[in-house]
Amino acid sequence: MKLIQNYIDGRFVPGKREFADVNPADGTVIAQVTEADEAQVDEAVQSAHRALRGEWSRLGVRERAVRLRKVADAIEKRFDCFVEAEVADTGKPVSLASKLDVPRAAANFRVFADLVKLSGLESFQTETPDGTNALNYAVRKPLGVVGVITPWNLPLLLLTWKVAPALACGNAVVVKPSEETPSTATLLAEAMQDAGIPNGVYNVVHGFGPGSAGEFLTQHPGVNAVTFTGESRTGTAIMKTVASTVKPVSFELGGKNAAIVFADCNFEEAVNGLSDAVFLNSGQVCLCAERLYVERKIFDAFVDALTRKAESLHPGWPKDEKTDLGPLISKQHREKVLSYYRLAEEEGATVVTGGGIPKFGDERDNGFYVQPTIYTGLSESARCVKEEIFGPVCHIAPFDSEEQAVAMANDTKYGLAASIWTSNLKRGHRVAQQMNVGITWVNCWFLRDLRTPFGGAGLSGIGREGGMHSLNFYSELNNICIRL
């Protein structure tokens, strides 16, 4: 059986304990994974500090950018291996991994290789009331060793989204990928070797959260900052852990995202766009819409059309090009999603479609599939309308006025993303600006420009990454004041 090992100081290293990597499509074990103990996490952090004192710190921005581009090339050279590993770990359709996850990983390295060269100096000429003159300028320095903790839903995409800017700014990283999806972070180590990234700059420690590699990493005094993507309550736990060593954090957390569909929208575009927004990656994208508000005039027609889309989705083997709906990530996560399916009925929902488990009559029945599901009829205070489910499911409610739609969309503790569907440009701007979220799309969803700010308000996160926002987080400013 394949063994996925930790990667420390440029070497793949085994450990004392192992855990299973399970294929969510049929429940089979595809690999064993080495769990890093506290001593190995410490070794990874120490090796990152050694790397910071070595060749890496002397490379300069231009050469770092050259090597980051080589990492992108090395990912593309292994394109098929990355796609295969991502599909096996996550169960996501091969069409999605090859169009989204792996190309975005390469793009993450290229965009930050370009941007880091643009980040200039800030300078201020100072004149005090007593006539003293001074020149101030601020230099950007790496933070040091960055702990990177990532989830299972877009494993390589989200990992490289953080590793690329961290390395562009001259840091070294210790990454802890999700225990559910350990493969591509480990494959990335090979790409780093190909690209000439010095030993110790990129380290991988595998394991779980509390009492395991995740917690060992966040509590380590040698880790200078933590960047995390995952559930909001994990963010709370990490925040408590890092408080004692006052580490800067960047958190990209959960969501309960709303979409507002006005009667004047392009109906077909709205249905197609929201079918993606609800069901892509089996609803396991933090940006997915789980609350749809539709103007009453088109409510019935919209529910019918989205139902037809849900029922035309093709759940299947992830490797099959025709599959557009894979399994959920794990048995445990399916239990959670199914518990919400049951709860919705207890809370009085009308099940428009789905609500259960598909039957295949083959090994996929041992996998973790659920039916795409649409509910109507819940009150706005129902738990299924308030809590993140993270599956292929949405609730659709009617609205009568713009004001009411905005109020319902904003009635959440989360604040990640929203989408507005209207052909009235003024209304699009007006409503978008009232959304209490980090990103609002108008007549589209998940259209990303990597230079733009990305992150969430409220329970959905702290800070913004993307473009210069990433470079600001992954560097420390030292202001130098020179009396003239």
The least CB distance from residue 141 to ligand NAD, in Å, is 26
The least CB distance from residue 79 to ligand NAD, in Å, is 23
Place of tokens 């913004």: 464
The least CB distance from residue 439 to ligand NAD, in Å, is 10
| In 122-266, alpha helices (H) | 155-168, 183-194, 213-219, 232-243
Determine which one of 84, 252, 290, 388 is catalytic: 252
- Catalytic residue flag (residue 252): yes
Closer to ligand NAD by CB, 165 or 456: give it: 456
Closer to ligand NAD by CB, 37 or 295: give it: 37
Closer to ligand NAD by CB, 150 or 282: give it: 150
Residue facing ligand NAD at closest CB distance: 209
Closer to ligand NAD by CB, 215 or 476: give it: 215
140 backbone dihedrals φ, ψ, rounded to 5° = -90, 130
- Distance, in Å, from the CA atom of 237 to the CA atom of 215, rounded to the nearest integer, reads 9
Site for ligand NAD, rule CB under 6 A: 149-153, 158, 176, 178-179, 208-210, 214-215, 218, 229-231, 234, 237-238, 252-255, 286, 388, 390, 416, 456, 460-461
315 backbone dihedrals φ, ψ, rounded to 5° = -75, 135
Q: With 0-12 CB in 10 A as exposed, 13-18 as middle and 19+ as buried, what is 342?
A: exposed
Residues 6+ positions from 237 with CB-CB distance below 8 Å: 209, 210
Contact 352, 374 (CB under 8 A): yes
Measured CA to CA in angstroms, residue 187 lies from 102, 167, 175, 312 at distances of 12, 17, 13, 35
Determine which one of 265, 286, 288, 384 is catalytic: 286
The least CB distance from residue 210 to ligand NAD, in Å, is 4
- Distance, in Å, from the CA atom of 65 to the CA atom of 56, rounded to the nearest integer, reads 12
Closer to ligand NAD by CB, 56 or 441: give it: 441
The least CB distance from residue 153 to ligand NAD, in Å, is 5
DSSP code string of 202-216: EEE----STTSHHHH
Measured CA to CA in angstroms, residue 289 lies from 170, 302, 330, 418, 434 at distances of 36, 15, 21, 8, 17
The least CB distance from residue 458 to ligand NAD, in Å, is 12
Strands 289-295 and 461-462: unpaired
- Catalytic residue flag (residue 122): no
Closer to ligand NAD by CB, 142 or 415: give it: 415
Closer to ligand NAD by CB, 258 or 352: give it: 258
- Distance, in Å, from the CA atom of 14 to the CA atom of 21, rounded to the nearest integer, reads 15
Q: Which long-range contacts (CB under 8 A, 24 or more apart) does 81-87 make?
A: 81/187, 82/156, 82/184, 82/187, 85/183, 85/184, 85/187, 86/155, 86/156, 86/181, 86/183, 86/184, 87/318, 87/319
Q: With 0-12 CB in 10 A as exposed, 13-18 as middle and 19+ as buried, what is 55?
A: middle
The least CB distance from residue 254 to ligand NAD, in Å, is 3
Q: Which residues are catalytic?
A: 252, 286
